[in-house]
Amino acid sequence: MSHCSLFGRALGLAILLASAASTGSAFAAGASETPSGAQGPHALAIDIPARQVWSFAGPFGKYDPAQLQRGLKVYREVCSNCHSLKMVAFRDLMSPDGPNLTEAEARAIAEAYKIKDGPNDAGEMFERPGRLSDYFPWAFPNEQTARAAFGAVPPDMSLLAKARTYERGFPLFLLDPFIQYQERGVDYIYALLTGYTNDKDPNWDEYFPGHKIAMPNPLSDGAVDYADGAPKTVQQYAKDISAFLMWAAEPKLVERKRIGFRVLVYLAVFAALLYLVKRKIWARLHNGASEAHRAQPPA
């Protein structure tokens, strides 16, 4: 029976770790890197982004459509002035696991953009309103124009939340696989957007490597109007746009987690069945062996 209890203990530990990760409670609190206020953008000289609470964290995480819709608004009204989002199509905004817009809403957003198309019969390129099948266009005609304006090219945002990370250091990086910490990219983006803590220098950021960033502080309180009553603060904007960028980078996250859980249930049932089968098969052999043993004549 020792196998059984070992298995049980391992399963118990896994569930414990998983629930700690999904609620972001026990371990998140224990692992908070900035002791003075996890939400605070500036605390210590060590600029390690604090871990935030996200609806999509943990084994049962899901995107919050209202948050993604607010993030989309921040992207459209602020970030899209400089950053492209090349891999997101307007029809993707209708995803029920994502922003969950109606077709009419997604179409209205698409039509607000001008898309370069052509050539037409006269051989000329032309502009037309966007369609659901179009992708978000970039405000700049090419990288050179953007670099000339800012001294650096604003990176495409489609995969940014997955492309950025930071060193968590020992011993956290050993723990991360177990607590399923996969939100390093969004935590970094949130920290970056709330890290403009030098009033005299709009290009100084607490969390940007080297601190000097070519992007001037893009957010300010009240800059984007929210219709759903969410606070119009830099913190809230940063949270919402970070969540939106996570969705852009991993639109299948919810599906992946759903399938992952089913696979784990399947494996657990399968392992239990295999164990029972193993006992049944070996029981016969075991009895036979002990009978043979007993059958030996006493010395």
Residues in contact with ligand HEC by the rule CB under 6 A: 74, 78-79, 81-83, 150, 152, 154-155, 160, 164, 189, 192-193, 213-215, 218-219, 241
Of 118, 107, 70, 103, nearest in space to 226 by CA: 70
What is the smallest separation between the CB atom of 236 and ligand HEC, expressed in angstroms?
12
Q: Would you say 93 or 238 has its CB closer to ligand HEC?
A: 238
What is the smallest separation between the CB atom of 194 and ligand HEC, expressed in angstroms?
11
Q: Would you say 82 or 101 has its CB closer to ligand HEC?
A: 82
Q: Would you say 18 or 193 has its CB closer to ligand HEC?
A: 193
Of 195, 174, 156, nearest in space to 75 by CA: 156
What is the smallest separation between the CB atom of 150 and ligand HEC, expressed in angstroms?
4
Q: Would you say 24 or 185 has its CB closer to ligand HEC?
A: 185
What is the smallest separation between the CB atom of 151 and ligand HEC, expressed in angstroms?
7
What is the smallest separation between the CB atom of 224 and ligand HEC, expressed in angstroms?
9
**Tokens 């966007």 sit at which residue?**
130
Of 188, 157, 186, nearest in space to 88 by CA: 157
Q: Would you say 27 or 75 has its CB closer to ligand HEC?
A: 75
What is the smallest separation between the CB atom of 217 and ligand HEC, expressed in angstroms?
9
| CA–CA gap between residue 32 and residue 50 (Å, rounded) | 6
Q: Would you say 18 or 213 has its CB closer to ligand HEC?
A: 213
